[in-house]
């Protein structure tokens, strides 16, 4: 399944509450009409503290992260070329100043239980400049994922490896222009359990390994709105 993610910054002068309402109540129903769309979640950012970690943070400033799932790349491209996408682009002028779009290879490490209220933390990752994309993928998928499984109280963990970057819905973006190599999704019961997990011996080991291949981690607590 292909995952398309949008990194959104709200329109200048628009309050966080107004952005949230418009994105959820007006924009979401339009996106839900995209042909071939299997799932659509909005992640409304509610906190930008580096909770649980002491790590360099990247410069990216965003107010929301969208996630849209399609069966495959062909289905995604058909949706992008549809009239619904034109309607979405028209509405974005009322909602955002900037959007970057990525396509990701998704790796679900710990499936998240359904029907359970949980805290979700998302993070953008930038690999170290001396680490190749291939090494980054290996360290993250093959080693780091095992270390995350050892965290106490972790309820869910998904890795999203960036394979394509776009300026808005148009031209390709370079890594220098959009320095995001991965997006993390982590679930805990609450902030306390998140912070205690990273203070644990397993958490210390995890972050020691992170410094071997990750230059920046920017964390966000999000409120999830499941549209489809």
pLDDT in tens, 27-86: 999 999 999 999 999 999 999 999 999 999 999 999 999 999 999 999 999 999 999 999
Tell me the pTM.
0.96
- CATH code given to domain 2-226: 3.30.70.100
Question: pLDDT tens digit string along 137-153?
Answer: 999 999 999 999 999 99
Decide: 69 and 160 in contact? Cβ < 8 Å.
no
- 3-class DSSP state of 16: helix
Cβ contact 49:219 at 8 Å: yes
DSSP 178: S
Q: Report residue 228's pLDDT band, with 50, 70 and 90 as the boundaries.
A: very high
């Amino acid at each position: 399944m292909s995952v398309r993610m949008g990194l959104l910054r709200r329109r200048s002068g628009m309050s966080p509450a107004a952005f949230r309402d418009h994105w959820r109540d007006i924009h979401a129903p339009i996106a839900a009409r995209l042909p071939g769309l299997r799932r659509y979640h909005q992640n409304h950012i509610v906190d930008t503290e580096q909770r649980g970690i002491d790590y360099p943070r990247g410069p990216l400033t965003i107010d929301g992260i969208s996630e849209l799932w399609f069966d495959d790349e062909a289905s995604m491209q058909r949706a992008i070329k549809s009239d619904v996408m034109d309607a979405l682009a028209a509405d974005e002028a009322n909602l955002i100043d900037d959007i970057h779009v990525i396509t990701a290879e998704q790796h679900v490490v710990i499936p998240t239980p359904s029907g359970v209220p949980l805290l979700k933390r998302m993070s953008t990752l930038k690999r170290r400049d001396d680490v190749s994309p291939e090494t980054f993928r290996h360290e993250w998928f093959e080693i780091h994922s095992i270390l995350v499984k050892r965290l106490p109280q972790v309820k869910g963990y998904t890795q999203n490896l960036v394979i394509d970057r776009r300026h808005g819905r148009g031209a390709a973006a370079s890594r220098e222009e959009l320095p995001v190599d991965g997006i993390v999704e982590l679930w805990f019961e609450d902030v306390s359990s998140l912070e205690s997990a990273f203070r644990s011996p397993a958490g210390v080991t995890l972050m020691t390994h992170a410094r071997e291949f990750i230059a920046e981690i920017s964390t966000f607590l999000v409120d999830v709105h499941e549209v489809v």
